[in-house]
Structure 1
Amino acid sequence: MTDPFSDVTDAHVHLMPERLMAAIRGALTDEAGWTFPAPAAQREMERALRAQGVTRYVALPYAHKPGIARELNEWLVERCAASEMAVPFATVHGDDDVRAVVREAFEAGARGLKFQCPVQRCAPDDPRLDPAYELAAEYDRPVLFHAGTAPMFEDSPHVGLDRFEAFVDSYPEVRACCAHMGTYEASGFVDLAREAESVFLDTCVAMSAAAPEYLDFDPASVPDAVFEDLAGRVMYGSDYPNVPYPYEDERAHLLSRDLSPEAFDALFRGAAANFLGEA
Structure 2
Amino acid sequence: MGAGEGEGAGADESALVAEFVARYGLPGLVDVHTHFMPERVLRKVWAYFDAVGPLTGVEWPITYREEEDRRVARMREFGVLAFTSMLYPHKAGMAEWLNGWAADFARRTPGCLRTATFFPEPGAEAYVRRAVEDGARVFKAHVQVGAYDPADPLLDPVWGVLAEAGVPVVTHCGSGPAPGKHTGPGPMEAVLARHPRLRLVVAHMGMPEYTEFLDLAERYREVRLDTTMAFTDFSERQAPFPARELGRLVDLGDRILLGSDFPNIPYPYVHQLEAVERLGLGAEWIRAVCHGNGAKLFLPDL
Q: Is the 8 A contact 2:122 2:154 kept in 1?
A: no
Partner in structure 1 of residue 135 of structure 2: 109
Alignment match of 2:123 (pick from 91, 97, 100):
97
Alignment match of 2:181 (pick from 157, 161, 182):
157
Residue identity opposite 1:261 in structure 2: A
Distance 2:142 2:223 in 1: 17
Q: Is the 8 A contact 1:2 1:265 kept in 2?
A: no
Match runs of 1:120-131 below 5 Å: 120-131=146-157
Scaled by the length of structure 1, the TM-score of the pair is 0.91
Scaled by the length of structure 2, the TM-score of the pair is 0.84
In the alignment, is residue 9 of structure 1 matched against residue 33 of structure 2?
A: no
Deviation of residue 217 (structure 1)? 1.8
Deviation of residue 3 (structure 1)? 4.2
Distance 1:11 1:3 in 2: 21
Partner in structure 2 of residue 55 of structure 1: 81
Distance 2:72 2:95 in 1: 23
Residue 236 to residue 113, structure 1, CA distance change in 2 (3 Å)? same
Alignment match of 2:281 (pick from 245, 252, 259):
259
| Structure 2: stretches of 5+ with no match in the other structure | 1-20
Residue 192 to residue 228, structure 1, CA distance change in 2 (3 Å)? same
Partner in structure 1 of residue 201 of structure 2: 177
Q: Which moved more, 1:245-254 or 1:170-179?
A: 245-254
Partner in structure 2 of residue 35 of structure 1: 61
Residue 6 to residue 223, structure 1, CA distance change in 2 (3 Å)? farther
In the alignment, is residue 143 of structure 1 matched against residue 169 of structure 2?
A: yes
Deviation of residue 260 (structure 1)? 2.9
SS of 1:151's equivalent in the other structure is coil
Distance 2:248 2:68 in 1: 33
Residue identity opposite 2:202 in structure 1: C
Distance 1:193 1:48 in 2: 32
Deviation of residue 116 (structure 1)? 0.6
In the alignment, is residue 269 of structure 1 matched against residue 291 of structure 2?
A: yes
In the alignment, is residue 20 of structure 1 matched against residue 30 of structure 2?
A: no
Q: Is the 8 A contact 1:146 1:180 kept in 2?
A: yes
Q: Which moved more, 1:263-272 or 1:231-240?
A: 263-272
Partner in structure 2 of residue 228 of structure 1: 250
Q: Is the 8 A contact 1:89 1:112 kept in 2?
A: yes
Q: Is the 8 A contact 2:210 2:241 kept in 1?
A: no
Distance 2:116 2:23 in 1: 31
Distance 2:278 2:45 in 1: 31
Distance 2:138 2:78 in 1: 25
Deviation of residue 87 (structure 1)? 0.5
Deviation of residue 150 (structure 1)? 0.2
Distance 1:226 1:58 in 2: 27
Distance 1:248 1:277 in 2: 23
Q: Which moved more, 1:1-10 or 1:177-186?
A: 1-10
Residue 198 to residue 95, structure 1, CA distance change in 2 (3 Å)? same
Deviation of residue 227 (structure 1)? 2.9
Q: Is the 8 A contact 2:33 2:83 kept in 1?
A: yes
Aligned length: 275
Distance 1:262 1:34 in 2: 33
- Higher-Rg structure is 2
Residue identity opposite 1:141 in structure 2: V
Partner in structure 1 of residue 15 of structure 2: none
Match runs of 1:65-76 below 5 Å: 65-76=91-102
Partner in structure 1 of residue 191 of structure 2: 167
Distance 1:23 1:139 in 2: 33
Q: What percent identity do the matched residue pairs reach?
A: 29
Residue 23 to residue 277, structure 1, CA distance change in 2 (3 Å)? same
Kindly indicate whether structure 1 or structure 2 has the higher relative contact order, using CA contacts under 8 Å at least 6 residues apart: 2
Distance 2:272 2:73 in 1: 17
Deviation of residue 104 (structure 1)? 2.0
Distance 1:188 1:130 in 2: 23
Distance 2:182 2:225 in 1: 18
| Structure 1: stretches of 5+ with no match in the other structure | none
Q: Is the 8 A contact 1:175 1:198 kept in 2?
A: yes
Deviation of residue 108 (structure 1)? 2.2
